[in-house]
Amino acid sequence: MTEYLRESRGLPITIDNVLITRGTMMAIHLAVQCIVQPGEVVVVGEVSYTSCNLIIKQSGAKLMTVPVDEHGIDVEAIEQLCQKTPIRMVYVTPHHQHPTTVIMPAERRLRLLQLAKTHGFCILEDDYDYDFHYNSNPILPLAAADSGRNVVYVGSLSKVFSPALRVGYVVAPAEVIEAMANLRRIIDRQGDNLLEAAVAVLFRDGEMRRHLKKAQKIYHHRRDLFCEMLKTELGNEIEFSKPTGGLAVWARFDPAISLPEVAQKAVKKGFGFRTDCITALNSTPRAWALLRSMRKKSSAG
Ligand SMILES: Cc1ncc(COP(=O)(O)O)c(C=O)c1O
């Protein structure tokens, strides 16, 4: 896994910087528990990964939100917040902002890294779909350019393989990994050693690399087909931009349409329609939804 992360993402790491977890969920849980004290501030986008928000709230940290725009999380708003209150952690998904799917541009990335250095907060980078990029090479993670040791990087095989595997990872400075490993020992003594050994064989034999290449092609094709169908079948009801990567489309629906009702009907037909992503942007109730029919039903997570 360490070699794969080093080669595919340019992470300057050794085995001491990596801990295998049961999916990203456990990685986020460990990071928040080990780094954030109850009452300290964790910042997320006003639309963000709801499961992560639950972990943050459960930890006793104070969850604060900043706006999300067409370039992802608003880094200037984070800077303004830093002037008012100490921030301990910022959760981001720069490869594709979750759920709006946009890529965070280079200037914003550098600014965020700089802010983390200046104000001493931790950036929790969730790179949930790094392996799926269709228009160009992926932008390297923030963790690859983190000279200040401020980034904790999490990801998993949930998108590239299956969420049922529950194999994820967290990358961090060695002493942080050690603290997380100690905590993990209390809640999940050994992990699933047999499964992890089997996955290691897939990496070692090059099978995972071949699988990734194949999956990338298949999902590229699915994205194109799905977007075509959305245009032809729902062109009058929704607006969306074709995502440059990932496995989801972020769409704005005609406000006259009741999304909870549509979601209920869609799910009955095997169409992935995340109701927790039917949400409000900029505090104005609007009908936005994350559509995920690009994924195989059997691997939906
Ligand atoms: C933003 C985000 N992060 C992470 C994950 C994956 O979580 P896990 O690795 O625990 O399956 C998902 C899954 O949908 C997600 O949307």
The residue whose C-alpha atom lies closest to atom 15 belonging to ligand 1 is 128
Q: What is the pTM of this model?
A: 0.90
The helix (run of H) or strand (run of E) holding residue 54 is helix 50-58
* 29 shares its domain with 138: yes
Q: Say how far apart CA 123 and CA 42 lie, in whole Å.
A: 10
Q: What distance, in Å, lies between the first and last C-alpha atoms of the chain?
A: 21
Q: What is the pLDDT of residues 257-300, one digit of tens each?
A: 888 888 888 888 887 676 655 554 444 444 555 666 555 444 43
CA–CA separation, 42 vs 301, rounded Å? 25
Gap between the Cα atoms of 153 and 150, Å rounded: 10
Ligand 1 center from residue 25 Cα (angstroms): 7
* Residue 24 CA to ligand 1 centre (angstroms): 6
CATH number of the domain that residue 138 is part of: 3.40.640.10
Point out the ligand 1 atom lying closest to the alpha carbon of residue 98: 1
Return all residues near 59 (Cβ < 8 A) that are at least 6 apart. Answer: 32, 33, 36, 38
Q: Could you give the 3-state DSSP secondary structure of residue 285? A: strand
Is pLDDT larger for residue 112 or for residue 265? Answer: 112
Length in residues, the chain: 301
CA of 126 to the centre of ligand 1 (A): 8
Provide the pLDDT for residue 255: 82
Q: Is 299 in the pocket of ligand 1 (CB under 6 A)?
A: no
CA distance 179 to 154: 16
* Ligand 1 neighbourhood includes 98 CB (under 6 angstroms): yes
Pocket test for ligand 1, best of 54, 93, 158 (most atoms within 8 A of CB): 158
Same domain, 47 and 140: yes
Buried residues in 146-174 as b, exposed as e (16+ CB within 10 A): beeebbbbbbbbbbbbebebbbbbbbbbe
Domain extent for 231: 208-299
Whether residue 246 has its Cβ less than 6 Å from ligand 1:
no
Task: Determine whether 106 is exposed, middle or buried from the number of CB atoms within 10 Å of its CB (0-12, 13-18, 19+).
Answer: exposed
| Closest C-alpha to ligand 1, atom 2 | 128
What local confidence, expressed as pLDDT, does residue 301 receive? 39
- Domain check: are 131 and 228 in the same one? no
Determine whether the shortest distance from the Cβ of 49 to ligand 1 is under 6 A: yes
Residue 117 burial (C-beta neighbours within 10 Å; 0-12, 13-18, 19+):
middle
Helix axes 23-35, 174-187, angle to 10 degrees: 110
Residue 298 confidence (pLDDT): 41
Please tell me the distance from the alpha carbon of residue 226 to that of residue 36, in angstroms, as a whole number. Answer: 40
Answer with the one of 154, 172, 204 that is the final residue of a domain.
204
DSSP strands (E only) in 50-167 = 62-66, 68-69, 72-73, 89-92, 122-126, 151-156
Residue 289 CA to ligand 1 centre (angstroms): 17
- What pLDDT is stored for residue 285 in this prediction? 40
pLDDT of res. 286: 46
Which one has a higher pLDDT value, 255 or 207? Answer: 207
Residue 101 DSSP symbol = -
Q: What one-character DSSP code corresponds to residue 15?
A: G
CA 266 to ligand 1 centroid distance, Å: 22
Q: Are residues 197 and 80 in the same domain?
A: yes
Q: What is the pLDDT of residues 53-111, one digit of tens each?
A: 999 999 999 999 999 999 999 999 999 999 999 999 999 999 999 989 999 999 999 99
pLDDT at residue number 278: 56
3-class state of residue 125 by DSSP: strand
**Rounded Cα gap, residues 241 and 131, in angstroms:** 20
- How many domains is the chain partitioned into structurally? 2
Looking at 204, 238, 268, the residue that finishes a domain is: 204
List pLDDT tens digits, range 213-233: 999 999 999 999 999 999 999
Q: pLDDT digit string (tens) for 114-146?
A: 999 999 999 999 999 999 999 878 889 999 999
Tell which atom from ligand 1 comes closest to the C-alpha of 156.
9
CA angle centred on 132, ends 126 and 135, rounded to 5°: 120
The answer, yes or no, to whether any atom of ligand 1 lies below 6 A from the CB of 173, is: no
Q: Does 77 lie in the same domain as 156?
A: yes
Quickly count: other Cβ atoms within 10 Å of residue 132's Cβ.
24
237 and 194 share a domain?
no
pLDDT of residue 257: 85
Amino acid identity for residue 53 in this structure = N
Q: Do 186 and 232 belong to one domain? A: no
Statement to judge: residues 102 and 238 lie in one domain? no
Q: What is the DSSP letter of 142?
A: G
Domain closes at, from 204, 236, 262: 204
Atom 14 (ligand 1) nearest CA: 301
CB within 8 Å of 248: residues ≥ 6 apart: 99, 101, 290, 291, 292, 294
